[in-house]
Amino acid sequence: MSPIYRWIAAGAGLLAAGFLVWYFQTIVFYILIAAVLSLMGKPLVTLLCRVRIKERNMPKWAAAMVTLIVMLVVIYALAVTLVPVVLDKIDQLASFDIDRLTSALAEPISRIEEFINRFLPDNNFSVREYIHTQVGPMIASIDLGRSLASVTGWVVDLVIGVFSISFITYFFLKDDRLFFDGVVILFPAKYEANITRALDSATTLLIRYFIGICIEMLIKLLCITLPLYLFGLEFNTALVIGAISAVLNVIPYIGPLIGAFAGCVIALLSTGPGIATGTLLLQMVIVFAVFQLIDNIILQPYIYSSSVRAHPLEIFIVILMAGYIAGVLGMLLAIPAYTVIRVFAKEFFNHFRVVRKLTENI
């Protein structure tokens, strides 16, 4: 076959593969989630396989089953704990009273108005009026009933998704080479050794990254929930704010800001008459700011830099580029995708100086 026909055949194959991935995107999504869960569960499987039962090590299938059960129990416990409280907050939002918000924030609003009117010639700016005319109609336009009905309609799909992901994850845990073998067969046989080395290296880095992310989320959950509870919020409310902040913290840079804003809104909707809202908001801002400082100085450099072995500035630029290309989803996938790209680049393009520089720590 001449080179031009070879290129045409390769292009046609890539187009066909892209179409299949797009057409079966849900199944591909299940497989990718299962692959991530299997990476996170692999250390536990390895640990359980070292357990000796009657002078024999635990079988791999049993270790995989125990690991999967542990993961499902943790997810179920989180869902049972958080979902009812989240639904309660949604119900509060559905009955949101804009007058209640302005009354609760009367003192801070007065100070803001006084500060702003110092610099305005007419001295007629009113935060209360702005909230009533701009924020009120925006909240009133949200049809929470329709949104909940839409969520209810996805329950069957959710059950199917959970079962499918659990089934695939079990076999990925039981045979940790299964996913790799499926990737290797997509490439010519002469590259099998290179692909295998790249996948092994990427697996090690991604395991460290995902476990680090989970530890970071757990630390933020505790560091946000406990202080807010001590400041006077109900434990369920503090837990929801901590959980939302921990989940949104996965989104680099903008996630913590969104989490802090959402937490303040939830706190305002949940405070009782005996709590000074201005003081509570100030305390919450301090808590979020202190944790973010700890996260930026200690946690993120270790997780993003040490786990994937890349410079913090390098990671920052990659995240910005990914956000520009694909928005929030791109920022979420930036670090794992960049890690895989670096590993494969080292295997196949290490003769380029820039590649050697970017991958020298892998």
- The share of the chain scoring above pLDDT 90, in percent, equals 2
Q: What percent of the chain has pLDDT over 70?
A: 75
- Beta bridge partners of residue 56, listed in sequence order: 53
Average pLDDT, whole number, for the chain? Answer: 77
Write out pLDDT tens, residues 300-319: 767 766 677 777 777 778 88
How much is the average pLDDT of 111-119? 67
Concatenate the DSSP letters of all residues of 218-255 into one string: HHHHHHHHHHHHHTT--HHHHHHHHHHHHHHTTSTTHH
53 vs 358: CA distance, rounded Å: 46
What is the band of 274 on the pLDDT scale with cuts at 50, 70, 90?
low
Q: What is the pLDDT of residue 152?
A: 54
207-221 CB burial, b ≥16 within 10 A, e <16: bbbbbbbeebbebbb
**Single pTM value for the model:** 0.67
How far is residue 291's CA from residue 287's CA, in Å, rounded to a whole number? 6
| Rounded mean pLDDT, 25-48 | 85
pLDDT of the residue at 69: 92
- Mean pLDDT, rounded, for 230-237: 82
254-270 and 235-248 are packed helices; what angle lies between their axes, rounded to 10 degrees?
160
